[in-house]
Amino acid sequence: MATEIFKSDEGKILMLDFYDRMVFESKLNIRQIDIMTTAGSTHILIHGDPDKPPLVLLHGSTSNASTWLSDFEIYSRSFCIYAPDMPGDPGKSTEVRMSWKNDDYANWLLEVIDNLKINNPSLVGLSLGGWVALKFASLHPERTGNVALIAPGGIINPNMSAIFKLVKFQREGDAGVKKTLRLLFPDDFDSPEVFEFFSLINQHFISRVEAVPKLSNDELSAIRSKVLLLCGNQDALFNFKKAVKRVNKLLPNIETHIFEKGRHGLTSTAEVILPFLLR
């Protein structure tokens, strides 16, 4: 559905300038391409040896592919990385927002994979990206490699009060950014770049005030991939103790790791995920 996702053209320019600066400051050899899908244009960051197996990184809601840059060097030891900006989020893809209530995102991801001419990619999905990875693996098990999920949506209904808090914080300037970081990240988390990113989001982006639907038992049972679930025991958005109980019953090939002090913004996960993806 076409909609305005930036509050102004100037705000959009500022956000994309930040994106470009993060790519430049990574000092990595990153290729950027745009491909056409049914939803519209999709922008993709590519890094690594194209002869290595493919790995698709799917970012969270109200985010973009540049948030994966700190993990590129680790994953590219063994994979060629493809990190798309999901449509309707503050990246360089189309501003069209697809529905979360049908198969639009899974169909979009299939188009991306077909356009890239990659076979059976492994998937790493964060939050919304985890939901997209689960939907895709359910609908296209024959096209999916190993799947790693970081605090994913779709397994259990979210805590909507926390989502409403995040929306409220967006109207509170830098004070709201600090509250957002306290809600999502560990107490000792300190990143000027993340603070700047959330500040830009609060000033210039119109977030979606809704949640992705929980996948059905039939959808989850259709997944054939090996799955790794990383989640935090102090996640404000999801009760992952309940989520782990559910997936353990439905996914025979799942491993779970609950970080006792972890929140929704789990950090430094690539070193944990990489050995799993190589199995």
**Residue linked to tokens 């600066």:** 21
Q: How confident is the model at residue 3 (pLDDT cuts 50, 70, 90)?
A: low
Asked if the model's pLDDT at residue 44 lies above 90, the reply is: yes
Homologous superfamily (CATH) of 9-277 is Alpha/Beta hydrolase fold, catalytic domain (3.40.50.1820)
Tell me the pLDDT tens digit for each residue of 105-163.
999 999 999 999 999 999 999 999 999 999 999 999 999 999 999 999 999 999 999 99
Asked if the model's pLDDT at residue 177 lies above 90, the reply is: yes
Amino acid 57: pLDDT = 98
Strand partners, 258: 231
Tell me the pLDDT tens digit for each residue of 250-269.
998 999 999 999 999 999 99
Tell me the pLDDT tens digit for each residue of 197-240.
999 999 999 998 888 999 999 999 999 999 999 999 999 999 99
Q: How confident is the model at residue 187 (pLDDT cuts 50, 70, 90)?
A: confident
For residues 180-185, give the mean pLDDT.
96
Amino acid 151: pLDDT = 98
Average pLDDT, the chain: 96
Tell me the pLDDT tens digit for each residue of 9-41.
999 999 999 999 999 999 999 999 999 999 999
Of 57-66, 90-99, 165-174, least confident by mean pLDDT is: 165-174
* Spatial contact of 112 and 42, defined as CB atoms under 8 Å apart: yes
Amino acid 209: pLDDT = 84
Tell me the pLDDT tens digit for each residue of 73-93.
999 999 999 999 999 999 999
pTM over 0.85: yes
How large is the angle between the packed helices 128-139 and 104-116, nearest 10 degrees?
A: 80
